[in-house]
Amino acid sequence: MMKFEHVSLPQRVRFGTGGARENLAAEIEAFGASRVMVIATEGGRELAHTVADGQPVVRWHHEVVMHVPVEVAERAREAAEADRVDALVCIGGGSATGLAKAVALTSGLPIVAVPTTYAGSEATNMWGLTEGARKTTGVDDKVLPRAIVYDAALTVGLPVELSVASGLNALAHCVDSMWAPRADPIDRALAAEGIRALRLGLPQIVKEPAGIEGREYALYGAYLSAHAFASAGSGLHHKICHVLGGMFNLPHAQTHAVVLPHVLAFNAPYADDARRLIAAAFDASDAVEGLRQLREELDAPRALRDLGMPGDGIAAAADAVLAAVPPGNPRPVTRENIAELLSAAWEGNDPR
Ligand code: NAD
């Protein structure tokens, strides 16, 4: 018997290579906005201008820091208020989107997101802020961008290594959406199509970074992954990465890329449906093997120690993960088996 409750978040998606300027203009017109604040990193300044020049921009804001420190959020909020901004446009990766969300959280201003990585934050109503080493996250519909403008041409400059890590971050949203606390059949269908799209797109990006088809598949997969994730919630994989990122200040996408094969191998033997769906999406006979092959093709990052995690941090991390295990995880989690998983990810061993 099939019985579930599914919530889809209200959001318009405009997808079209080369169409960012036109699609952004249409969204700004639809809001009737006349005082726009554009949020983009320093490095993304030029790209932001190519997309938003000609719009009624009253503030170009370039102080963007990963994980949104509260003082950075506060300065952006003050700027938006001082300039009587009536709409936010973020152009960039998850960090630029995250800052726009922080401003929307307190102001209620609408966001149009123009993503240039595969982080997927644009399709979720989740926000994050950090104070010192402590990251706080929450869910609020106010931070959900009203519209997303996807344009693969904006992503061709994303270096291959970052594209791979970011794409595997998206893949992790898909895999975790198979068994996260609110996972339902719609999430699993979206996640399976997301895996298929990323499996097709990411190898093309590695072979031809400036090629459009691979970039389009990756953006499409990233959107599906985040859509599923927003509905399903955080599964074991995301809890582990959240703990590691917070404790050791590790790079976001790369941490996901390293941890994912270990969580898949950990849960797959205890999750028959998920295992079959993931294997089929990889067009492989086995889910774990499908991911292994893809990671090999992509030369994906392998070890937490290469990302700066200290080896003597494994025990404390295992305790913190144990305290955060989401309900309904397919495999019972113990201090021993989670420490074993973390050790293998730290060493960069093939997951068992
Ligand atoms: P990021 O936004 O920090 O970008 C990484 C680097 O890539 C930056 O230096 C950026 O300037 C550069 N970059 C981005 N696009 C580029 C392009 N097209 N060409 C060249 N360089 C480019 O990294 P990210 O992985 O996209 O986002 C990570 C952040 O997003 C984290 O803080 C994470 O917690 C958050 N996140 C939030 C959610 C959510 O639902 N709230 C989901 C995923 C990630």
Residues 309, 249 share a domain: yes
**Residue 57 — pLDDT band, cuts 50, 70, 90?**
very high
Mean pLDDT of all residues in 165-193: 98
Q: What percent of the chain has pLDDT over 90?
A: 95
Query: Same domain for 142 and 57?
Result: yes
What pLDDT, on a 0 to 100 scale, did the predictor assign at position 95? 97
Domain limits at 53? Answer: 12-155
Mean pLDDT of the chain: 97
Which residues lie across from 92 on neighbouring strands?
A: 115
Same domain, 150 and 168: no
CA of 119 to the centre of ligand 1 (A): 6
Specify whether 105 is located in the same domain as 243: no
Q: Is 5 among the domain residues?
A: no
What is the rounded average pLDDT of the residues 51-73?
97
Across 275-292, average pLDDT = 98
Residue 6 lies in a domain: no
| Residue 2 included in any domain | no
Q: Single out the residue in 110, 125, 155 at which a domain terminates.
A: 155
What mean pLDDT comes out for the span 92-120? 98
CATH number reported for the structural domain that contains residue 86 in this entry: 3.40.50.1970
d(CA 206, CA 121): 23
List residues near ligand 1 (CB under 6 A): 41, 43-44, 66-67, 92-96, 98, 116-117, 119-121, 124, 126, 128, 154-155, 157-158, 162, 166, 252-253
Each residue of 290-301: pLDDT tens digit?
Answer: 999 999 999 999
Question: Is there a single domain that holds both residue 134 and residue 184?
Answer: no
**Which of 109, 131, 155 lies at the terminal end of a domain, its last residue?**
155
196 with 311, same domain: the answer is yes
State which of 155, 181, 199 marks the end of a domain. 155
CA of 94 to the centre of ligand 1 (A): 4
Instruction: Based on the fold, state whether residues 199 and 93 are members of the same structural domain.
Output: no
Does 265 map to a domain?
Answer: yes
* Separation of CA 167 and ligand 1 centre (Å): 11
Number of domains in the chain: 2
